[in-house]
C-alpha cells in the first residue's frame, strides 16, 4: 500500500546519490581496499540481484545503511544476505545510531557504525584484517553473546577537508538521479555536503550522527569538489545539502568569491536559516549563481514555533524572505503540520502565513517524530505516538498512516488539511500567473506542469 501511494509522487520526490556510503567508500579506497557500491534504489534491484552482485564482487564485508522509513527493507535484505552468503554485515546510518540495542538484537547484523562513520569504518576494517580486538574501535556496536556492546563515542572529525571527496565513480551516472521538481533548473544536478553538526536544538531534528558541534569545509575545498562534479561527472547544477549552509556567514562569502574567481557557471541551491542571513551574504550568493534558498519555516504560529525550540520569530521570517527575493533569489518554504500542541486553528495560521509570504514554492510535511529526536521522546511520553506504528509509516507524510497525531487532531483531519493546504497554496490565480511569467524554457513548462497535475491528484 505504501509503495503504491509513493508512486503517485515519484515525479516530485527527490532521489539523490547516497553520499554517506560514497564517503565511506572513498575512505576505504584511500586505505587501499577494493570497494563496490550498489545503489539498489536507483537501479531498482531485487534482493536476489543484490545478492548476485555481491557474489560477483567476491566481497568479504557487507556494509548497509538504514533510514528509519526504509528500515523494514534493510532488515529483510540483511536477513537474506546473511542466510545466503554468510558474510559479516555492518550497518550504519541514523536509525541504528538512534536505536543501537534494538537494531543489533537482529542477528543478521554483526557490527554497527554509530554516528560519523569514516574513521570508525576505516579502523574496523583494519582491525578485522589484523584479527585484533574490535572492542578498541570507538563508535562501534556489536554483540557479545546476547549482550549488545557499544565501545563509546568517537570524537568528531575536526578537519573535514581531510576526508576525500565521495567515490561517485562507483555510483550510477548523475543523470540516473532525480531532484524534486521545485528544486532544480538544470539536470543533472549533483548534491554536496560541506559542513556537519548543528548547534541549534530544534525538537524535530536528529543530532545523533553528526552532533551539535558545527564543523565546516573551507571555501577552496568546497569549490574544488564543485569543479570535479562539473568536469568529471557532468553536473550542470549543484545542491548543497547542509543542514544550515549559512551557519558561518564568512565561509559563505569565501565560497561565493571562490566560485566567481574560477568563473564557474552552475546554478545552485541550499538550505538555510533566516536568522543567519543578511543582505551582504544574499547579494554574494546571487552573484555566485544561487537561484533558490530553502528556509525551514515550520509554522505560522509563534507559540507552536517556541514549543519545538526553533528559535526564530515570524516577523524575522517575513523580513528575510522579502530580503531574499529582493536579491533575486527564489524562496522555497518548508512547513510542518501537526506539531506538538497543534490544532486546526494553528494549522490554518501556518497556511495563511505561507500564502502571505509569497513564496516561490512551499512544502507541507506531516510531522514525523524520528527516533533520536526530542520530539520522539515527547511523543512517547504523551502517548501521542502510536505504539503499533511500524517504521515504514515514517515517510514524512507520504504514508497513508500517520504514526503521530497531537491530541487535538485526528490522523484523518491532518491528512485532509495537508492536501487542502497544497491546493490552496498552489492553485491561487495570483500564484499561477507569477509562475507562468517565470517560464523561460520547455524544461520549465515540464516542471510546472508536473507539479500542477500532482497537486490536482491529491485526495
Same structural domain for residues 136 and 216? Answer: no
Distance from C-alpha of 368 to C-alpha of 392, rounded to nearest angstrom = 12
Helix (H, G, I), strand (E, B) or coil at 258: helix
382 found inside a domain = yes
Q: Is residue 7 part of a domain?
A: no
In the block, residue with C-alpha cell 507541507 = 364
In a domain, residue 3? The reply is no
Check residue 9 and give its pLDDT. 40
- Give the CA distances from residue 372 to residues 22, 100, 213, 375, 380, in Å, rounded to whole numbers and listed in that order: 24, 11, 16, 8, 12
Classify 394 as helix, strand or coil.
Answer: coil
Same domain, 119 and 190: no
Question: Does the residue 9 lie in any domain?
Answer: no
The span from the CA of 333 to the CA of 355, in Å, is: 10
What is the domain extent for residue 221? 171-456
| Global pTM value | 0.92
- How many domains is the chain partitioned into structurally? 2
Percent of the chain predicted with pLDDT > 70: 91
Here the CATH number for the domain that contains residue 253 is 3.80.30.20
Residue 401: the pLDDT is: 74
pLDDT digits (tens, 9 = 90+) for 123-168: 999 999 999 999 999 999 999 998 999 999 999 999 999 999 999 9
Same domain as 379, residue 425 = yes
**Residues 341 and 281 placed together within one structural domain of the fold:** yes
The answer to the question of residue 161 being in a domain is no
Give 130-187 as a DSSP string.
Answer: TT--GGGSTTEEEEETTEEEE--PPPPPS-GGGSPPP-GGGS--GGG-B--GGG-SSS
Question: What distance in Å separates the CA atoms of residue 25 and residue 118, rounded to the nearest whole number?
Answer: 9
Select the more confidently predicted residue: 393 or 108. Answer: 108
- The CATH number of residue 85's host domain is 3.40.50.280
Contact 181, 361 (CB under 8 A): no
Q: Give yes or no: residues 194 and 342 share one domain.
A: yes
pLDDT, tens digit, 9 for 90 and up, residues 361-387 = 999 999 999 999 999 999 999 999 988
pLDDT score of 274 more than 90: yes
**C-alpha–C-alpha distance, residues 159 and 218, integer Å:** 9
Amino acid at each position: 500500500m505504501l509503495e503504491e501511494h509513493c508512486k503517485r509522487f515519484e515525479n516530485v520526490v527527490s532521489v539523490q546519490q547516497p553520499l554517506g556510503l560514497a564517503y565511506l567508500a572513498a575512505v576505504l579506497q584511500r586505505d587501499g581496499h577494493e570497494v563496490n557500491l550498489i545503489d539498489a534504489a536507483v537501479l531498482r534491484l531485487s534482493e536476489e540481484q543484490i545478492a548476485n552482485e555481491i557474489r560477483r564482487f567476491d566481497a568479504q564485508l557487507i556494509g548497509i545503511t538504514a533510514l528509519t522509513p526504509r528500515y523494514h527493507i534493510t532488515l529483510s535484505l540483511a536477513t537474506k544476505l546473511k542466510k545466503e552468503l554468510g558474510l559479516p554485515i555492518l550497518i550504519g546510518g541514523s536509525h541504528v545510531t538512534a536505536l543501537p540495542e534494538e537494531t543489533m538484537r537482529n542477528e543478521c547484523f554483526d557490527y554497527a557504525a554509530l554516528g560519523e562513520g569514516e574513521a570508525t569504518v576505516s579502523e574496523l576494517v583494519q582491525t578485522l584484517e589484523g584479527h585484533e580486538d574490535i572492542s578498541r574501535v570507538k563508535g562501534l556496536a556489536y554483540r557479545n553473546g546476547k549482550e549488545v556492546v557499544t565501545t563509546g563515542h568517537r570524537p568528531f572529525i575536526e578537519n573535514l577537508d581531510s576526508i576525500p571527496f565521495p567515490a561517485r565513480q562507483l555510483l550510477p551516472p548523475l543523470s540516473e538521479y532525480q531532484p524534486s521538481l521545485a528544486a532544480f533548473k538544470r539536470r543533472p544536478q549533483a548534491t554536496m555536503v560541506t559542513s556537519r553538526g548543528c548547534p541549534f536544538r530544534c525538537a524535530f531534528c536528529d543530532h545523533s550522527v553528526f552532533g551539535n558541534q558545527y564543523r565546516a569545509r573551507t571555501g577552496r575545498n568546497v569549490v574544488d569538489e564543485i569543479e570535479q562534479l562539473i568536469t568529471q561527472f557532468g553536473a550542470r547544477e549543484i545542491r548543497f545539502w547542509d543542514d544550515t549552509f549559512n551557519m558561518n556567514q564568512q565561509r559563505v562569502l569565501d565560497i561565493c568569491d571562490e566560485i566567481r574567481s574560477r568563473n564557474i557557471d552552475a546554478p545552485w541551491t541550499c538550505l538555510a536559516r533566516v536568522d543567519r542571513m543578511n543582505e551582504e551574504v544574499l547579494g554574494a550568493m546571487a552573484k555566485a549563481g544561487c537561484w533558490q534558498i530553502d528556509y525551514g519555516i515550520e509554522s505560522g504560529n509563534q507559540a507552536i514555533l517556541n514549543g519545538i525550540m526553533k528559535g526564530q520569530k515570524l516577523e524575522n521570517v517575513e523580513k528575510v524572505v522579502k530580503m531574499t527575493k529582493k536579491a533575486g533569489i527564489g524562496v522555497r518554504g518548508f512547513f510542518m503540520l501537526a506539531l506538538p500542541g497543534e490544532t486546526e486553528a494553528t494549522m490554518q495560521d501556518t497556511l495563511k502565513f505561507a500564502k502571505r509570504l509569497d513564496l516561490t514554492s512551499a512544502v507541507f510535511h506531516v510531522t514525523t517524530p524520528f527516533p533520536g529526536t526530542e520530539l520522539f521522546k515527547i511523543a512517547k511520553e504523551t502517548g501521542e505516538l502510536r505504539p503499533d506504528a511500524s517504521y515504514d509509516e515514517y515517510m514524512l507524510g507520504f504514508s497513508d498512516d500517520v504514526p503521530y497525531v497531537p491530541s487535538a487532531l485526528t490522523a484523518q483531519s491532518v491528512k485532509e488539511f495537508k492536501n487542502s493546504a497544497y491546493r490552496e497554496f498552489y492553485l491561487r490565480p495570483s500564484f499561477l500567473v507569477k509562475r507562468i511569467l517565470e517560464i523561460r524554457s520547455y524544461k520549465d513548462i515540464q516542471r510546472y506542469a508536473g507539479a500542477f497535475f500532482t497537486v490536482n491528484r491529491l485526495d
